[in-house]
Amino acid sequence: MTTARKYVLETLFQGTPKKSDLKIVEETLPAIKDGEFLAEAVWLSVDPYMRTLVNSSNIGNTMIGEQVAKIIESKNDDFKVGDYIAANFGWRTKTISNGDQVRKLDRSVYTDDKLSTAFGIMGMTGATAYLAFLDICVPKEGETLVITGAAGAVGSAVGQIAKIKGCRVVGFAGSDEKVEYLKGLGFDEAINYKTMTSLKEALDKACPKGIDMFFDNVGGEFYDTIIPQMNNSGRVVIVGYMSQYNSEKPDQGPRLNPSILAKELTIRGFFIYNWLPRWPEAFKAIGEWIDKGQLKYTESITEGFDNMFDAFAGLFTGKHIGKAAVKA
């Protein structure tokens, strides 16, 4: 018998998540059975999507999310004590599993210093950047890409992949520090949307040949303004809509059907868990780019399971650069 700690959803998020919406509780775990193992969280992920996937049916449940865990007890031959795994166990310190939907980490790739990349650049966020951008935006050399939420884990990787593919890359972010970070990654233009005077003018200036591709993490006024400024046959991938996550009333904006028709735009939604069979392809390419120094990644690390909510809340205040990760 062992004790796990976990975050339970007490009340449904309304607007910006509050600390009191989640409660840390202790759970006594039974002995493991044949075929099972016990894993202890080493790294935990916080991601914006967690805000949107929680609904009233989740009240009383463990908060959802990915983690990297170490196997500390096992009656399953495929998962031995000392192995590391990535899994959607949620916000909890210890978990019993039979190995279903669990990804065992190849330690020659996920070395000690890279364990947290299993839910970052070599995990869900990297796979999202690679597959959503290449498959849906279908970049051609010389084309212009606009990225919102560009300093986030996904956006910063997309921009670098687009540079590898020979595109002009323009990113929006929410602080001068983030703008500097993006320029350091090779973005052609990085714009602090909090201090710019006009989004339309900023786009006109940063995109002299118009916009061919739009990788959207934010939605809202960015989406409203960028769609009408796109070039003919433009491609748009909707990966997030940060501007709406915490909004309490239905969000209204201009109906953009005239622009979509006249420019023959393609707009597509992307949800990474529908693309699992193609993750290995993404990791192979990303791993090679990292090894060659063509793709850099940053993590914003919060220490301690008890501080996990603060790391999560920081996603909505623009606190983090790159992938937000919690060290258990």
Out of 29, 134, 199, 267, the residue judged to bind a copy of itself by CB under 8 A: 267
Query: Looking only at residues 123 through 152 of this chain, which bind a copy of itself when binding is defined by CB under 8 A?
Result: none
Q: Based on the shown chain and the rule CB under 8 A, indicate whether residue 277 belongs to the binding site for a copy of itself.
A: no
CB nearer to a copy of itself: pick between 30 and 250: 250
Q: Based on the shown chain and the rule CB under 8 A, indicate whether residue 238 belongs to the binding site for a copy of itself.
A: yes
Neighbours of 40 (CB within 10 A): 17
- Angle 163-166-171 (CA atoms, 0-180°, nearest 5)? 40
- Angle 247-250-254 (CA atoms, 0-180°, nearest 5)? 110
Q: Based on the shown chain and the rule CB under 8 A, indicate whether residue 231 belongs to the binding site for a copy of itself.
A: no
Out of 133, 241, 297, 305, the residue judged to bind a copy of itself by CB under 8 A: 241
Out of 178, 240, 282, 286, the residue judged to bind a copy of itself by CB under 8 A: 240
Pairing of strands 67-74, 37-45: antiparallel
CB nearer to a copy of itself: pick between 25 and 262: 262
Q: Based on the shown chain and the rule CB under 8 A, indicate whether residue 257 belongs to the binding site for a copy of itself.
A: yes
Out of 70, 114, 263, 319, the residue judged to bind a copy of itself by CB under 8 A: 263
Out of 184, 195, 271, 284, the residue judged to bind a copy of itself by CB under 8 A: 271
- Tell me the C-alpha to C-alpha distance, in Å, between residue 6 and each of 43, 44, 61, 147, 324: 14, 12, 10, 35, 19
Q: Which residues contact 283 (CB under 8 A, 6 or more apart)?
A: 109, 122, 126, 127
Out of 47, 66, 83, 216, the residue judged to bind a copy of itself by CB under 8 A: 216
Query: Looking only at residues 39 through 98 of this chain, which bind a copy of itself when binding is defined by CB under 8 A?
Result: 52
Is the Cβ–Cβ distance between 192 and 178 less than 8 Å?
yes
Q: Considering the complex, what minimum distance in angstroms separates the CB of residue 290 from a copy of itself?
A: 27
Q: Provide the residue type at 14 as one letter.
A: Q
Is the Cβ–Cβ distance between 268 and 237 less than 8 Å?
yes
Query: Given the rule CB under 8 A, which of 20-28, 56-64, 137-145, 233-241 is the region that contacts a copy of itself?
Result: 233-241
Q: Based on the shown chain and the rule CB under 8 A, indicate whether residue 220 belongs to the binding site for a copy of itself.
A: yes
DSSP 8-state code for residue 50: H
Q: Considering the complex, what minimum distance in angstroms separates the CB of residue 14 from a copy of itself?
A: 16
Query: Given the rule CB under 8 A, which of 88-96, 106-114, 122-130, 256-264 is the region that contacts a copy of itself?
Result: 256-264
| Farthest-apart Cα atoms in the chain, separation | 64
Q: Based on the shown chain and the rule CB under 8 A, indicate whether residue 35 belongs to the binding site for a copy of itself.
A: no
Out of 244, 246, 294, 298, the residue judged to bind a copy of itself by CB under 8 A: 244
Burial group, residue 50, by CB count within 10 angstroms (0-12, 13-18, 19+): buried
Is the Cβ–Cβ distance between 240 and 217 less than 8 Å?
yes
Helix (H) or strand (E) holding 301: strand 299-303
Is the Cβ–Cβ distance between 58 and 105 less than 8 Å?
no
- Angle 106-150-153 (CA atoms, 0-180°, nearest 5)? 20
Q: Based on the shown chain and the rule CB under 8 A, indicate whether residue 239 belongs to the binding site for a copy of itself.
A: yes
Q: Based on the shown chain and the rule CB under 8 A, indicate whether residue 101 belongs to the binding site for a copy of itself.
A: no
Binding site for a copy of itself (CB under 8 A): 52, 216, 219-220, 223-224, 232, 238-241, 244, 250-255, 257-271, 274
